[in-house]
Chains A and B, each alone.
Chain A
Amino acid sequence: MALKDITLGQYFPGDSILHRLDPRAKILLTVFYIVALFMAKNILSYSLMFATLTGCILVSHVGFRVLVRGMKPILFIVVFTAILNLFYTPGEGEPLVAFWIFKIYWEGIRTAFFMVLRIMMLISCTFLLTYTTSPILLTDALESLLGPLKKLRLPIHELAMMMSIALRFIPTLIEETDKIMAAQKARGADFDSGNLLEKAKALIPLLVPLFISAFRRADELAVAMECRCYHGGEGRTRMRQLKYAGRDYTALLLGFGLCLSIWGINLLGVF
């Protein structure tokens, strides 16, 4: 797998309704979705959550394959969680399987299954947010949503700026890593074999140039920003003003409705 294939935090340009929603609405919707996800307790509510997510993915034109590929890096966490839940969930009645000190109950399987589903949906919905929203819009929206905290003297603008710069440079640095890796491989460097210590040592020819280039880039960026008279958020106006439209209100209502229905299902206690 080439490093380029890691799509974490990468924006897929498009023109779907999800792309066109106001980024603030999208962030709020993601929050609604996550809240609903943590309230979901049974098959009915999980099905509802799953259907909602599938619908959003279909509408976004991002494609399931891309999402699945993005999940590769967290596969370990998913498997780890599943195993822990499988073995350590106590249950009533007879264990289904028992050997040595391990006992697997029906409840364990159930919890593990829902846990895995929950993590996957959690990751998918946040991925969907970053896939359909450009990093610039995303940080603009965050700054706007967190705006009220400025009154508490929190440096919201600076945080947003740092975030947008960090997001902006993830693909660049990944590309750079790819390039340096290729160059060192061309000189016979071996990143894949050997024991842990040898592997760590093999990273030096990669990490030193990478850090140097990151610092160089940071320096160049700082100079470029200063040349354009950047001096922080005070009195700064925006080229792109965020504005809620009708569809944003509809989407937010739907999101709120989702939370309510999950809550309702819980109250009714349907399995």
Chain B
Amino acid sequence: MIHLEPIVQTEKLSHVYSPGTPFQHAALVDVDFRAYPGELLGIIGHTGSGKSTLIQHLNGLLKPTSGRVLVEGQDIWESKAATRQARFRVGLVFQYPEYQLFEETCYKDISFGPKNMGLDEAEVDRRVREAAAFVGLPDSVLDQSPFELSGGQKRRVAIAGVIAMEPAVLILDEPTAGLDPVGVEQIMSNIHDYHEAKNASIIVISHSMEEMARRVDRLVVVNDGRIPLEGTPREVFAHGSELEEMGLGVPRMTRVFHRLNALGAEVDPSVYTIAQAKEAVLDALKRKGGV
């Protein structure tokens, strides 16, 4: 996967908020970020680390103070058309997207994006229905007002509104914030379905390590406007103490194994699931037995 050309990348991306006022603040400093086609990428970082600023650069909502953003190899700030194209190729679902619903019916709201793309009616209709199916909305809901729905359903309508644009890269900022465990599970599996069906790259921002570790191919850690760590979950969680210094929790299993390691047990500290833990323990025992 790493040999492929990145689908979205940034080169030395920096962003400064409110320059020239007492609130001046550098949110990103020389960030080189890459996302590859078809991967499920997780971005972790605590509040104010710059992760939201980063993703808003990926589809051209924010203009870099310096540096470049490339989508499918093209600089998105080269021309107005390129910026607009990036908006459609890179779909962005914000935090609490349900607060952005505005149409009379869910159908109309989901069709807002595809219509802005200038698609014909039949294509818009196909996309709306397909997107609704991906997020598990029954047809009956499509004719209802989005404001009559429950919180979880509203969020699914909002996510469908972005999926309907069929972006090559789908970015979701805390898609499961404030949902109950069942809702979390549903939304995450909806996203997974889209990933599988369209072979789209998915970038998920979250601070729930357990959830991220289980699902993503790769993790990018954002801290203080920089990317100090990236790699597979195992590679990243091997740096458990550094993560904790950044104020990020590691999965519970990882923490246990880090502690075991500190107590002198020679186990692999990068595990994050129970299955991996079992293997690590057996492995350690085997080595001990061998001595």
Q: Identify the closest chain B residue to A14 (Cβ).
A: B22
In contact, A188 and B84 (Cβ under 8 angstroms): yes
Q: Which interface class (under 10, 10 to 19, 20 to 34, 35 or more) fits B?
A: 20 to 34
Chain A residue at minimal CB-CB distance from B161: A187
Identify whether the interface residues of A are mostly helix, strand, loop, or mixed: helix
Whether A187 contacts B99 by the Cβ 8 Å rule is no
Is the CB of A92 closer than 8 A to any CB of chain B?
no
Name the distance in Å between B173's Cβ and chain A's nearest Cβ: 10
Of chain A, the residue at the smallest CB distance from B23 is: A12
> In the complex the two chains form, is A208's CB within 8 Å of B61's CB?
no
When chains A and B are docked, how far (Å) is the Cα of A65 from the Cα of B100? 34
Is B102's CB under 8 angstroms from A208's CB? yes
Rounded to whole angstroms, the CA-CA distance of A144 and B161 in the bound complex is 51
CB-nearest residue of chain B to A65:
B20
- How far, in whole Å, are A14 and B23 apart by their CA atoms in the complex? 12
A84 proximal to B (CB < 8 A): no
Q: Which of A66, A186, A190, A205 contacts B102 (CB 8 A)?
A: A205
**In the bound complex, do residue B21 and residue A188 qualify as a contact, i.e. CB atoms below 8 Å apart?**
no
Q: Are B99 and A185 in contact (CB under 8 A)?
A: no
Complex-state Cα separation, A184 to B99, whole angstroms: 11
Residues of A within 8 A of B99 (CB): 180, 209, 212-213
Which single residue of chain A is at the shortest CB-CB distance from B56?
A182
Tell me, rounded to whole Å, the shortest Cβ–Cβ distance linking A45 to chain B.
32
> A180 contacts which chain B residues (CB < 8 A)?
99-100
User: Which chain B residues border A189 with CB–CB below 8 Å?
Assistant: 112, 116
Given A5-B18, A12-B22, A182-B94, residue A188 in contact with residue B87 (CB < 8 A)? yes
Interface string of A43-82 (1 = CB under 8 A from B): 0000000000000000000110110010000000000000
Q: Which of A14, A63, A184, A186 is B91 in contact with, Cβ under 8 Å?
A: A186
Contact pattern, B 84-100, Cβ under 8 Å of A = 1, otherwise 0: 10011001101001011
**B117 interface residue per 8 A CB criterion:** yes
Bound complex: CA of A205 vs CA of B108, how far in Å? Answer: 12
**A4 contacts the other chain (CB 8 A):** yes
Is B116 in contact with A186, judged by CB distance below 8 angstroms?
no
A185 partner, pick from B22, B61, B101, B102, beta carbons under 8 A = B61
Q: Is A159 at the interface (CB under 8 A from chain B)?
A: no
A204 in the interface (beta carbon within 8 A) = yes
Name which residue of chain B comes closest to A185, CB basis.
Answer: B61
Flag if A212 contacts B147 (CB, 8 Å): yes
Instruction: Kindly state the separation between the CA atoms of A93 and B101 in the bound complex, as whole angstroms.
Output: 64
Given known A-B contacts A205-B112, A209-B102, A186 and B21 have beta carbons under 8 A apart: no
Residue of B nearest to A193 (CB): B80
Also in contact, A209 and B22, with CB within 8 A (given A179-B94, A186-B87, A187-B165) = no
Complex CA distance for A102 and B112, rounded to whole angstroms: 51
Please, how many angstroms separate the alpha-carbon atoms of A212 and B98 in the complex?
A: 11
Residues of chain B contacted by A62 (CB below 8 angstroms): 22
Cβ-based interface call for B42 (8 A): no
Nearest CB in chain B to that of A189: its residue: B116
Distance of A190 Cα from B22 Cα, bound (Å):
31
Q: Complex Cα distance A205/B102, Å? A: 6
On chain A, the residues within 8 Å of B17 by CB distance are 4
Q: Are B116 and A188 in contact (CB under 8 A)?
A: yes
Chain A residues with Cβ below 8 Å from B165 are 187-188
- A179 vs B102: C-alpha distance when bound (angstroms): 14
Please determine whether B100 and A209 come into contact, CB atoms closer than 8 angstroms. Answer: yes
Contact of A63 among B22, B102, B117 (CB under 8 A): B22
B251 proximal to A (CB < 8 A)? no
Query: Is B59 positioned at the interface, with any CB of A under 8 Å from its CB?
Result: yes
Q: Given A187-B112, A188-B87, A182 and B117 touching (CB < 8 A)?
A: no
Contact assessment for B59 and A186 in the assembled complex, using a CB-CB cutoff below 8 Å? yes
When chains A and B are docked, how far (Å) is the Cα of A182 from the Cα of B162?
13
Instruction: Give residues 169-215 of A contacting B (CB, 8 Å).
Output: 179-180, 182-190, 204-205, 208-209, 212-213
Q: How far is the CA of A14 from the CA of B92 in the complex (A)?
A: 37
* Bound: A4/B56 CA distance, A: 15
B117 to chain A: which residues have CB within 8 Å?
188
Q: How far is the CA of A14 from the CA of B20 in the complex (A)?
A: 16
Chain A residues within 8 Å of B101, by CB: 209
Interface string of B50-71 (1 = CB under 8 A from A): 0000001001010000000000
Instruction: State which residues 117-170 of B face A: CB under 8 Å.
Output: 117, 147, 161-162, 165
Q: Does B113 contact A (CB under 8 A)?
A: yes
Which residues of chain B have C-beta atoms less than 8 A from A208's C-beta? 102
B18: chain A residues at CB < 8 Å are 4-5
Across chains A and B, which 8 residue pairs bring their CB atoms closest together, nearest first?
A: A188-B116, A208-B102, A187-B113, A186-B92, A183-B100, A183-B94, A205-B102, A65-B20
Q: List 23 A-B contacts (CB under 8 A).
A: A4-B17, A7-B21, A62-B22, A63-B22, A65-B21, A69-B20, A69-B21, A179-B94, A180-B99, A180-B100, A182-B61, A183-B94, A183-B100, A186-B61, A187-B116, A187-B162, A188-B112, A189-B112, A190-B116, A205-B100, A209-B99, A209-B102, A213-B99
Chain A interface (Cβ < 8 Å from any Cβ of B): 4-5, 7, 12, 14, 62-63, 65-66, 69, 179-180, 182-190, 204-205, 208-209, 212-213
